[in-house]
Amino acid sequence: MRIGCGVDVHELVFGRPLILGGVRFEVDLGLAGHSDADVVCHALMDALLSAARLPDIGELFPDTDPAFEGASSIALLARVAKMVADAGFTVADCDITLCADAPKIAPHKREMRENLARALGVSPEHVGLKATTFEGLGFVGEKEGMAALATCLLAE
Ligand code: MG
């Protein structure tokens, strides 16, 4: 087995869509970024790439490359899953924590897990997802941004 972890942070701004786990939330604040800034997918991609000892998403999909402007991160996650498979690994399990004081993800959690699982080619049973608030503290609590942490287990 191989283990990997990934962390990502994006700023919350007006005038951007909020996309988390491939689901669009109809809210005023969205995440800023070169791609669609799906912080959940970004943390998970880095966990997978790290476990497979492949280059990280900053190297693979640089924010200086116009090809990735507005890119769908769930599509990039599927590309990463293919690279991990090509390197000889299968995704055994993964777990993600979204750090956000709003919005509540509970109504969309199932759809997010299904999107992530589809991109990975695994059952949703193998995609853990939860959110935590920062109780009003720090950049998450002040709604200046969101963070995500991901862990995955790959089988050789
Ligand atoms: Mg990112």
Helix, strand, or coil (residue 75): helix
DSSP tag of 122:
S
Percentage of residues in the chain having pLDDT higher than 70: 100
Task: Decide: 47 and 54 in contact? Cβ < 8 Å.
Answer: no
Task: Decide: 11 and 28 in contact? Cβ < 8 Å.
Answer: no
Number of domains in the chain: 1
Question: Which residues crowd ion ligand 1, with CB under 5 Å?
Answer: 8, 42
pTM of the model: 0.97
Q: How far is the CA of 6 from the centre of ligand 1 (A)?
A: 10
**What is the layout of strands, in order, in the sheet containing 2-14?**
29-31, 2-14, 145-155, 90-99, 127-132
Task: Decide: 76 and 22 in contact? Cβ < 8 Å.
Answer: no
Give the tens place of pLDDT for each residue, 8-46: 999 999 999 999 999 999 999 999 999 999 999 999 999
Looking up residue 148, the CATH number of its domain turns out to be 3.30.1330.50
The average pLDDT across 146-150 equals: 98
Task: Decide: 12 and 143 in contact? Cβ < 8 Å.
Answer: yes
pLDDT at 70 over 90: no
Structural domain range at position 112:
2-155
Q: How far is the CA of 9 from the centre of ligand 1 (A)?
A: 6
Identify the pLDDT of residue 68. Answer: 86
Helix, strand, or coil (residue 87): coil
Q: How many residues does the chain have?
A: 156
